A and B are shown apart, each in its own frame.
Chain A
């Protein structure tokens, strides 16, 4: 009897040797004459256990990890194919505490299914949302999304339903659905994981968006740093087309919808929606002034829905189970679940999807298990390179858009980067300015020039030259950048800089004073 063994093709797992593990298993199985079918799934998001190999047994799946290629012979000797025990055995993956504590709605299938098998997708509840959508009027689909309370998961948190309604109501001979897959924030990988682990959920979400708004063409704008995601997406789109999910008649309905992947060329600013649209059009990725909104004049001047990967991938479950089901998770105005990405110097790094409302401390200390180095956690950066650094004293902040804003921070794309007590916050503040200087599109002066001046000011501060003046200058500069930039790059770079300065003032004291204090 053929035994199914799952070895992830997720980039994170590949970076830790999954390809070699799959190769070793294939070779060893052949040598021993074992009947093994290797399925390349996505990752469940427990990166300290990757490559995590799962075997399908009569009792369900049994996981082993982290597996090195050299472990394969011993694992087979121990009876891995029958799910027997071994030092690397983890038991049933769904019973691992890290997964038990999660609420997986968007990531329900990620790491479980074969990402390019539409049959597997349907077996695990896929396409039910799209089928329901086809039974409804476009207005009723939008009503469902509105009711869910879904807000843009890219970072801005704008209600998805309102965007859709605006495009629905806009007149145009052609409309577009654009998926923002330019996930450039350090500490984030949720988009990558879903594209590599369950691409059909994104395809389904985009098709539903098309039906709801009258758009017939979709583009996924994918960053060039994600070649593995590109391969899986292209494969999945071809499968979806062959299965009649995409094409002239979506699931034999009167609706047409098709899509393609467009790859960027290494520009962080193209994650900003209007810069992304310019880039898709074949221009320099420079930010546009709003209005006009992309919903009115977006791609090629046509009404355009532009949503983040996770926003679109959350739509199928909303249309499957109803807006109210999704809305009942969460707190305040932050409804549903959020895939939190725990990264950096952390013991248990990975993807943790949960309803809004957990505190930052619970996430970092309990779920993440503290630092990988074993040293005390000193700071965490939430929301990517434009997000604020939080000290331990703010660890009671609940994960919620408004609660983070109230503490001068942002959730962004929900990435959390953990730093131990060796971090130099002046260096981190300087890096924020440097990153802005490298990635600025050049349109707004405060961003283009302010970032470089900011680096210089912080360098002078480090050298101990008139520190009080430098702190005053950088504060003033941050204020100018915040209010004088069109987009979040220039506008939000002050968050990491000012939060570092506010919460960790001891790192901004001039060198002689610091030495004297020690």
Chain B
């Protein structure tokens, strides 16, 4: 645990160093941390605040504003399912419910075994091949029951 924390700290430090002299560095830093660690650890907030000469409240305010940033690690897989209108028009709500049922979790939850986190997303730009989802960055369109079962199988792995 202690080892992991030290490792996280050095990752955060190097990302901060990479961006601190650039214009508007806070989002690139947070995006970098989230990408590397899968979440933005609470301990990184004072480090970022100090480097960018901001208050911790300002940094935390930004972290809490954006939907992407997590304060806890996600599951090994992240499944984002589109809940917006174009997907709704072709049965997106039913697909979303089916995925909840197949994974045994609700939206914004992580399965107990840490396999998968299920998140809503409002539009992946795949509106002409809806319903759509993104599993760990892989885009999937025209989801029917067969594809939903396959997505759930891969997400639980």
List A residues 437-472 near B (Cβ within 8 Å).
438-439, 441
Most buried by B among A265, A282, A418: A282
The answer on a CB contact under 8 Å between A228 and B89 is no
A336 to B34, CA, bound (A): 42
A423 to B91, CA, bound (A): 10
Residue A350 CB within 8 A of the other chain:
yes
A415 to B86, CA, bound (A): 10
List B residues 104-138 near A (Cβ within 8 Å).
121-130, 132, 134, 137-138
The answer on a CB contact under 8 Å between A343 and B66 is no
A428 to B92, CA, bound (A): 13
Residues A11 and B62 in contact in the complex (CB < 8 Å), given A282-B24, A417-B86? no
| 9-residue interface stretch from B1-9, B95-103, B139-147, B149-157 | B139-147
The answer on a CB contact under 8 Å between A15 and B132 is yes
Closest to B54 in A: A282
Tally of chain B residues near chain A (CB < 8 A): 45
The answer on a CB contact under 8 Å between A224 and B142 is no
The answer on a CB contact under 8 Å between A423 and B89 is yes
Residue B16 CB within 8 A of the other chain:
no
Residue A473 CB within 8 A of the other chain:
no
Distance to closest chain A CB from B44 (angstroms) = 15
Residue A331 CB within 8 A of the other chain:
no
Residues A419 and B89 in contact in the complex (CB < 8 Å), given A14-B139, A284-B61? yes
The answer on a CB contact under 8 Å between A188 and B125 is yes
B62 touches which one: A185, A284, A342 (CB < 8 A)?
A284
Distance to closest chain A CB from B147 (angstroms) = 10
The answer on a CB contact under 8 Å between A265 and B66 is yes
The answer on a CB contact under 8 Å between A225 and B125 is yes
The answer on a CB contact under 8 Å between B66 and A428 is no
The answer on a CB contact under 8 Å between A265 and B123 is no
B129 touches which one: A50, A188, A227 (CB < 8 A)?
A50
Residue A322 CB within 8 A of the other chain:
no
- A414-445 CB mask vs B (1 if < 8 Å, else 0) is 01011110010000100100010011010000
The answer on a CB contact under 8 Å between A415 and B137 is no
The answer on a CB contact under 8 Å between A439 and B122 is yes
Distance to closest chain B CB from A396 (angstroms) = 22
The answer on a CB contact under 8 Å between B130 and A11 is no
- B24-43 CB mask vs A (1 if < 8 Å, else 0) is 11111011001000000000
A343 to B84, CA, bound (A): 12
Closest to B140 in A: A15
Distance to closest chain A CB from B136 (angstroms) = 10
The answer on a CB contact under 8 Å between A344 and B86 is yes
Distance to closest chain A CB from B72 (angstroms) = 16
How extensive is the interface on chain A, given as a class? 35 or more
B69 touches which one: A265, A344, A385 (CB < 8 A)?
A265
B67 touches which one: A266, A417, A428 (CB < 8 A)?
A266
The answer on a CB contact under 8 Å between B141 and A16 is yes
Distance to closest chain A CB from B87 (angstroms) = 7
Residue A226 CB within 8 A of the other chain:
yes
Residue B13 CB within 8 A of the other chain:
no
The answer on a CB contact under 8 Å between A186 and B66 is no
- B49-81 CB mask vs A (1 if < 8 Å, else 0) is 000100000100110011111000000000010
The answer on a CB contact under 8 Å between A189 and B125 is yes
Residue B21 CB within 8 A of the other chain:
no
- Residues of B near A418 (CB, < 8 A) are 89
Closest to A185 in B: B123
Residues A226 and B125 in contact in the complex (CB < 8 Å), given A15-B140, A417-B86? yes
B27 touches which one: A265, A345, A346 (CB < 8 A)?
A265
List 8 interface pairs A-B (beta carbons < 8 Å), by A numbering.
A16-B142, A225-B124, A225-B134, A264-B68, A265-B30, A351-B128, A381-B85, A418-B89
Which 6 pairs across A and B sit closest by C-beta, in order of nearness? A282-B26, A349-B128, A15-B141, A186-B84, A343-B127, A265-B66
18 new A-B contacts, CB < 8 A, other than A11-B139, A282-B26, are A11-B125, A11-B126, A14-B138, A15-B124, A15-B132, A47-B128, A184-B122, A188-B123, A188-B125, A225-B125, A264-B27, A265-B31, A265-B68, A266-B66, A345-B90, A385-B84, A431-B88, A435-B122
Residues on B lying within 8 angstroms of A by beta carbon are: 23-28, 30-31, 34, 52, 58, 61-62, 65-69, 80, 82, 84-90, 121-130, 132, 134, 137-142
Residues on A lying within 8 angstroms of B by beta carbon are: 11-12, 14-16, 47-48, 50, 183-189, 191-192, 224-228, 262-268, 279-285, 300, 341-346, 349-351, 372-373, 381, 385, 415, 417-420, 423, 428, 431, 435, 438-439, 441
